[in-house]
Chains A and B, each alone.
Chain A
Amino acid sequence: AQRVTQPEKLLSVFKGAPVELKCNYSYSGSPELFWYVQYSRQRLQLLLRHISRESIKGFTADLNKGETSFHLKKPFAQEEDSAMYYCALRVSSGSARQLTFGSGTQLTVLP
């Protein structure tokens, strides 16, 4: 069965410092990976997905199949980046395509 691991429950950095949120996965098939973000009192929303290889709000994430990782990075953290971040893996199961979430990392960017 697939699994997503986010080893850090809490992460604090100072404004302007680089930040990396770790995500490792285990899946026997070809993975599709996503990062979701949940700001305080808001719903979960997609941040980025590995297929598009995009940078959203300064965040990037590279899929490393050798290390089975999909770490989220930003070179200069901002206070508005403070939120809960979830790494997610998509699998195909019949006609449905389900997401498996990691346990989440609460990022706090200090002034």
Chain B
Amino acid sequence: GAVVSQHPSWVICKSGTSVKIECRSLDFQATTMFWYRQFPKQSLMLMATSNEGSKATYEQGVEKDKFLINHASLTLSTLTVTSAHPEDSSFYICSATLSGQGGYGYTFGSGTRLTVV
């Protein structure tokens, strides 16, 4: 079945530095990838929708200059948290839709635990 690989699974960084999270679709082409953020004991909150070859669409309240999303190919999307601060510490999850598929075509990555110290 469809697999999405997300890397790294966890990262600790110093405040003020930038962190890049990768999301790869391993055996399918993902025309659309979604980035979510999940705080402890809370639901997944959609941050942005990324379409291959075009600019990401950010949800209201998400700073596009802080959370840079690049979707340069049909198998790779990256989320870069720039100038990270402790309040950016969270669990980030990507998901990808299979090209041409309907709603059941969402496949999720295993998530990245970001801790900013």
Contact = CB atoms under 8 A, between A and B. Distances in A.
Given A32-B103, A44-B93, A51-B103, A99 B34 contact: yes
Interface stretch (A11-19, A59-67, A74-82, A90-98): A90-98
Interface string A7-47: 00100000000000000000000001010000000111110
A73 to B, nearest CB: 20
A43 B109 contact: yes
A96 B34 CA distance: 9
A96 B49 contact: yes
Interface residues of B, number: 22
Contacts, number: 54
Interface in A68-111: 86, 90, 93-104
Contacts of B95: 44, 99
Nearest to A94: B57
Interface stretch (B39-47, B72-80, B82-90): B39-47
B108 interface: yes
A97 B103 contact: yes
Query: Per DSSP, are chain A's interface residues mostly helix, strand or loop, or mixed?
Result: strand
B106 interface: yes
A43 B108 contact: yes
Given A86-B43, A99-B34, A103-B42, A45 B49 contact: no
A25 B110 CA distance: 26
A101 B108 contact: no
A103 B108 contact: no
Contacts of A103: 42-43
Nearest to B108: A44
A95 B100 CA distance: 12
A46 B95 CA distance: 12
B76 to A, nearest CB: 18
A96 B57 contact: yes
Contacts of B110: 42-43
A34 B97 CA distance: 15
Interface of A: 9, 32, 34, 42-46, 49, 51-52, 86, 90, 93-104
